[in-house]
Structure 1
Amino acid sequence: MDANEALGIIGLLSSNGVEARRLYLANRLMDITGGVIQHGPMKGYNLGELATWRVADNSAKILGLYEQEICELLAELGKTRHTLIDLGAADGFYGVGMVASGCYQTSHCFEIVDESRDNIRKIAVNAGVADRVHLHGAATENFMSELQSYHVALTDSVVLCDIETHEFEVFTEECLKSLSNAHIIIEIHDFMIADGKAKYEGLLARSRQYFEIHEIKTGARDLSAIPILSDHWTDSDRWLLCSESRAKLMSWLYLRPRS
């Protein structure tokens, strides 16, 4: 074994140890709070006992730090828009949480995984908003046609998308044109596919025809304002609680209607 191979093994073991610690800390925080979000626009919302997607992220969610920039933008847009369309809803963090916390009146959650849809349904019932959280299967470029029977008004809607590279397939020119009166927030996963840069440039070009484009990146986190972390948490553990274990600095496109 040469030096590079040895360093690779050490790095892998270190990474696995970090992720194990993140999971431990998330479970510890779940025990302390009962899964109730402590800060931010969704304060008071209960995440539920089951996580079908990245359970270790529960710590940042409970502290109100998870995708903080996006959460705050959604809450701000919810002051004038009342329907949230959540593409890739996972466990309903936004699709249920934003409705239960009063940021939106109703949501439409598109989720490809059966277990996750079942979990969203259960959490929505427990939160008392099952009649205002509507469930759908996988998001495709024709997802708007599934919403026609609900008479969704795009001038009253915000679209949130996190579908792991499929954003480049869903947001065709025709789809974007049909959504030109909606606010759209798209998590970008160009780094996960070989031709990601070209697909990202294509998405930008299509979007410019109908929207003002703003890029959002993960910013700073302030732990000093979170009383629950002031004692009995080391510096290392406190900062691990912020981690979303991303492969890179994440970015989102915020598409604002030109009208």
Structure 2
Amino acid sequence: MTEINISDLFQAAIRVKRSEITAEIYSWSRGMVQSGPFRGMRILQASSWGDGDLCPKILGTYESELHSCLNLWIKTPPDSVINIGCAEGYYAVGLARLFDRAIIKAFDISPAARDLCQRNATLNRVQDRIIVEGLCSPDILDGALRGSLRPAVVCDCEGGELELLDPVRAPGLSRCNILVECHDFVNRSISETLVARFQESHVIDVIPEGPRDPNRFTPLRRMRSMDRWLALCEFRPESMNWLFMRPRNVAPTEVADKKTGQLHQDSIQEEPSGIL
């Protein structure tokens, strides 16, 4: 008799239910992001990995901890953005819409991801400003930064950030705005190492993963409690954080409050706060 793994059954049930919720929310929204800095962006009902967190992306709660960082960039928009680990193009396309004069260079090792990124770019009519490529290395990254007066990097590459974000191998990073998701569960030294590399050249804020409020959205309020939370879940393996790093030679006027995620006037932090 085959032994039943309760955990596997539970995970399978979650995937089925999440798929049902996503389909309902996608239909309700007509595939359009409902809130946050990417509000109004359209997203195809497809993903290159898992379910692509399509439901929280459509609702606009996906990585909402970073919204204040993007809003700060609006004050002095980058003229180019390097998006490493672009997946289906949520950030690549969203940032192309947000910064309407910026060139976006999007990298992903997955052919399926690159295809979806290009299709979402076309859907949002920003395909002329998005360049989609495969593997990114420190040398390629440094080359992509050349010629840009106000470059920015948005990085989510499953632990690869430790190799890629090295100002010795990619000197252009020293004058670059950087927003990186740290995968410390892959390597416990990632956040600490990146802070050490950039603390002299950048002001660094550590942004911890925060809560979500499903009751903001009318269709979720009609769902059972478990389903409401499942709609917004990003299925992270542990509580995670991002580093928001701004070059010191560009004087910042605001910083993000770690608890509320809201921007406020403040002095420059010399040392990062949060987990370190």
The structure 2 residue matched to 1:201, chosen from 192, 196, 207, is 192
| Greater alpha carbon shift after TM alignment, 233-242 vs 174-183 | 174-183
Q: Is the 8 A contact 1:177 1:210 kept in 2?
A: no
C-alpha deviation, 1:63, in angstroms? 0.7
Partner of 2:26: 30
The structure 2 residue matched to 1:126, chosen from 115, 120, 123, is 123
- Residue segments in structure 2 that go unaligned for 5+ positions in a row: 250-276
**Are residues 1:17 and 2:13 paired?**
yes
C-alpha deviation, 1:176, in angstroms? 5.8
More helix by share: 1
Q: How many residues align?
A: 247
**Are residues 1:235 and 2:232 paired?**
no
1:1-259 to structure 2, matched below 5 A, reads 9-55=5-51, 57-82=53-78, 83-102=80-99, 105-147=102-144, 151-153=147-149, 156-175=150-169, 177-192=171-186, 196-231=187-222, 233-259=223-249
What is the aligned-residue identity percentage?
29
Q: Is the 8 A contact 2:154 2:179 kept in 1?
A: yes
Q: Is the 8 A contact 2:183 2:190 kept in 1?
A: no
Q: Residue 138 of structure 2: SS of its match in structure 1?
A: coil
Q: Is the 8 A contact 1:37 1:45 kept in 2?
A: yes
C-alpha deviation, 1:103, in angstroms? 6.6
C-alpha deviation, 1:102, in angstroms? 4.8
Q: Residue 21 of structure 1: SS of its match in structure 2?
A: helix
Which aligned runs of 4 or more in structure 1 are off by greater than 4 angstroms? 101-104
Q: Tell me the amino acid that sits aligned with residue 48 of structure 1.
A: L
Distance 1:58 1:143, change over 3 A: same
C-alpha deviation, 1:138, in angstroms? 1.3
Q: Residue 109 of structure 1: SS of its match in structure 2?
A: strand
- Residue segments in structure 1 that go unaligned for 5+ positions in a row: none
